[in-house]
Structure 1
Amino acid sequence: MRHDPAVPQELRDRDARRSQPLRGMRIIEISSYVATPLSGMTLAQLGADVIRIESAGGAADRTRLPLADSGTSLYWSGLNKGKRAIAVDLRSERGRRLVADLIVGGGRRGGIVISNSERHPDLTYEALRARQPDLIHVLLTGRRDGGTAVDYTVQAATGFPLVTGPEDAARPVNHLLPAWDVAAGLYLATGLLAAERHRLLTGEGQQVRVALEDVALATAGNLGYLAEAQLSSTPRERTGNYVYGTFGRDFTTADGERLMIVALTPRHWRELLAVTGLTEVVSALASALGADFAEESERYRHRKVLGELLAGWFETHTFAEAEAVLRTTRVLWSKYRSFSDLAADGARLLRENPLMAQVQQPGIGTHWAPGSPVVMAGEQSPPKVSPQVGEHTDEVLHTELGLSAHDVAMLREAGVIHPPTPAPKKEIDCHAATR
């Protein structure tokens, strides 16, 4: 969110409130890896006060790749923006009691926790609910029975790698994107907000459980993949870069650039044929095949012969020529970019998109980072820095539990809490790559 300095502060504050509807909601997060940190960050970007609990030195994923030159995790920093962090020894009973006090002792702003672990009996839903009956406890598990799983084992168990990749691939192909982690994180946030809505209406708390495997199964069912497997005698096959069920594939231009083209509607299809000069040729082909290419299913059925006709056009035209004609249509298309291309050639896109803003992250340096993609009343939350290990321990214990400086010092001396871990001195300037 980039403000015009001429806008009065009162109006800025009003706009900030619109984009921070969860202000006043306090959430304790005990988590690691993708889904639960993403859930907490999603809520923090909408105004919630998310306090992340970590052990001394940080959670297990604090140093996960990719890393900045300083050794700071770009992955971790990206998933934990805008949170507060405290470092507590969860192996000790006093440390766990302190965390329990934070969860249930925060008055009207407390009583909400996100976790992906049940390994501490005194931090389970049952134990905490005994102290605060209207507790909201949001838990991610690997499988519904509480068993462990990660995105890539869930991928393997639910069929997706066997229909991903080149048509002639003989082995499963895992997807780079941890789709189930991402979807689960958003389901966790949705479940938490639904439980909070229920509590506001009834005064009742509850536990919300989301299983990573269930997220994948639900998606496979919602998209029709499971029904197809049950009802069709023909199993789903790999289609490479063709888009299943419609017409879409990648094409290479005369100068070696690669485009993705998708024609979803009859209008898309007509316009694509018109600008490539293939209308009459494809009409004759339709007559010969007895096909109606106005039908999406027919375009998919004959995708290979249609694809080869279009490939011939793109192979004899440069990217600039293809771009010029495609921009006159409603056809869906994009040039393929690498992440490096997006950071370098796409610098204008990063600068001009209100989603992005520069942040100065300790241990990393200045770089473009996303805020919340949710736009509310024309405003969206800008990105904030991610906390260092234990950065807010003293602040949180003082403001949320009312502990004195002496109390905090005694806890630190006993090893229950730990001093903040400073960011590495060596930093990189990611902004340099986008100048």
Structure 2
Amino acid sequence: MADRPLSGVRVLDVSTILAGPLASALLGEFGAEVIKVEHPATGDPARHYPPLEDGESAAWSMIGRGKRSVTIDLHHAEAAALVGRLAAAVDIVVTNFRPSTLRRFRIDFDDLRAYRPDLVMIQVSAFGRTGPYADRPGFARVAEAFAGLTHRTGTPDGPPVFAGYPVADGVTGIYAAFAAMLALRQRDLTGQAQLADIPLYEPLLRMMEDFVVEYGVTGETRERQGNRNPHISPNDLYRTRDGRWLALPASTEQMWRRLVTVMDAGDLAVHNSMTARLEHREEIEARVAAFVAAHDLEPLMSLLTEAGVAAGPVNSAADICADPHIRARGSIVEVPDARTGRPRLMQAPAGRFSGFDPTIGGAAPALGEHTADVLRDLAGLAEPEIHDLRHRGVV
């Protein structure tokens, strides 16, 4: 097997919690060497999110995996030059500080490209580097609300609600990794430094392809519809006889015809366009709900699968870890924890490729585990210099 596509690419991760660290982790899964900068006393706040095991967040094993940990106190006067020396030895810097904070720490784009003239920098922030809100603080939930996702999530007669996971962190982390590939490609084509400015809200806004264009045509904002899809019927979560939940979206004409056949509901076939089905949504949703409620989940899944109808169970974490398809594909893996000796369950890298294999790399590092090695090998510091920096609290 050939080297992975990002072998030889080095990433300096100067970010915390989710979106930035996710972007660097994705790059690492496909071959990049990732060096994570953390505060010497506390490390990434994600290390401390409950539940804790042996004093460390269980989630950290996923967030920090495959990275090398270097501790630098960015508030210290000497930190900027130290980060600059590391930037000189990497291809990509990922950060998620506000623009004013990067300037205050003296590790903004112009500061770091003085050390490496063809540097690629990915800056994730709540609102981006430009515009009147550029220096507002914000996290994923703020971005989700700002981008309109929260407005349209929930039931029609209830308040807006958050999704079950901070979607903005996930979507923006993936988009930031994509932006890193674009910027790296452009750097390689032109030899020029590249800055990618990725606000948390913009990838979400881009993702909701119907939201703004509908408003532009109708002058009305799409409101909350619960689990129903504004463009598709039937499309809901339906409860089975044995108390499980089934996702069943008939998104195409072919899928609708197959569903009508398996339901033995030929009278519904008269609704032969999506427009007609949306006009008769209440009748259709009630009929599908009654059909699902008459079956236990597993026999119903067999029936629908045999008929070629797209449907699937609403899985818990326990369901996911026990599912035969997930197990067969290796979507969940056990990663040994060198410090505890216990394996940890976590998600594998997504996707399978013909020419290379992604990898998880090593277990999540201890705080500062690689500080001395990285400062010696990449920043060119001698052991007495590293010892002195430790003594003075810089690292």
- Give the alignment partner of residue 360 of structure 2, picking from 379, 383, 407: 383
Tell me which amino acid in the other structure corresponds to 2:354. A
Equivalences for 1:185-264 in 2 at 5 Å?
Answer: 185-220=173-208, 223-247=209-233, 248-264=235-251
**Aligned residue in 2 for 1:152:** 141
Shift of 1:150: 1.5
**Aligned residue in 2 for 1:182:** 170
The 2-side partners of 1:321 and 1:54 are apart by 51
Tell me which amino acid in the other structure corresponds to 1:187. Y
Shift of 1:261: 1.0
Distance 1:41 1:154, change over 3 A: same
Tell me which amino acid in the other structure corresponds to 1:246. I
TM-score (norm: length of structure 1): 0.82
**Aligned residue in 2 for 1:427:** none
3-state SS, counterpart of residue 56 of structure 2: coil
Distance 1:320 1:131, change over 3 A: closer
Is the contact between residue 373 and residue 380 of structure 1 (CA under 8 Å) also seen in structure 2?
no
* 1:399 aligned onto 2:386: no
**Aligned residue in 2 for 1:297:** 275
Is the contact between residue 29 and residue 113 of structure 1 (CA under 8 Å) also seen in structure 2?
yes
Distance 1:58 1:43, change over 3 A: farther
What RMSD, in angstroms, separates the aligned Cα atoms of the two structures?
A: 2.2
Shift of 1:174: 1.5
The 1-side partners of 2:85 and 2:189 are apart by 25
Shift of 1:233: 4.3
**Aligned residue in 1 for 2:344:** 367
Is the contact between residue 266 and residue 295 of structure 1 (CA under 8 Å) also seen in structure 2?
yes
Shift of 1:383: 2.2
- Give the alignment partner of residue 264 of structure 2, picking from 267, 271, 277: 277
- Give the alignment partner of residue 168 of structure 1, picking from 143, 157, 163: 157
Distance 1:321 1:199, change over 3 A: closer
TM-score (norm: length of structure 2): 0.89
* 1:116 aligned onto 2:105: no
Q: Mean alpha-carbon deviation: is it higher for 40-49 or for 259-268? A: 259-268
Per-residue CA distance 1:288-322 (angstroms, 9 max, x = gap): xxxxx231232233222111112222222333432
Per-residue CA distance 1:157-206 (angstroms, 9 max, x = gap): 2322232112321x221212222222211222222222221221221112
Aligned residues between the structures: 383
Shift of 1:37: 0.3
**Aligned residue in 2 for 1:265:** 252
Per-residue CA distance 1:357-410 (angstroms, 9 max, x = gap): 210234693123223214332543232311111011111122213333333223
3-state SS, counterpart of residue 111 of structure 2: helix
Tell me which amino acid in the other structure corresponds to 1:164. T
Tell me which amino acid in the other structure corresponds to 1:277. D
Which stretches of structure 1, 4 residues or more, deviate above 6 A after TM superposition?
none
Distance 1:350 1:325, change over 3 A: closer
Equivalences for 1:409-420 in 2 at 5 Å?
Answer: 409-417=387-395
**Aligned residue in 1 for 2:87:** 103
Identical aligned pairs, as a percentage? 26
Is the contact between residue 61 and residue 76 of structure 1 (CA under 8 Å) also seen in structure 2?
no
Equivalences for 1:17-56 in 2 at 5 Å?
Answer: 17=3, 20-56=4-40
Q: Mean alpha-carbon deviation: is it higher for 235-244 or for 27-36? A: 235-244
Per-residue CA distance 1:326-348 (angstroms, 9 max, x = gap): 121221111122223323x43x4
**Aligned residue in 1 for 2:332:** 356
Shift of 1:133: 2.3
Distance 1:151 1:278, change over 3 A: same
Q: Mean alpha-carbon deviation: is it higher for 171-180 or for 390-399? A: 171-180
Shift of 1:92: 1.6
Structure 2 unmatched ranges of 5 or more: none
The 1-side partners of 2:185 and 2:302 are apart by 50
Larger radius of gyration: 1
Is the contact between residue 11 and residue 34 of structure 2 (CA under 8 Å) also seen in structure 1?
yes
Is the contact between residue 211 and residue 221 of structure 2 (CA under 8 Å) also seen in structure 1?
no
3-state SS, counterpart of residue 106 of structure 2: helix
The 1-side partners of 2:301 and 2:195 are apart by 52
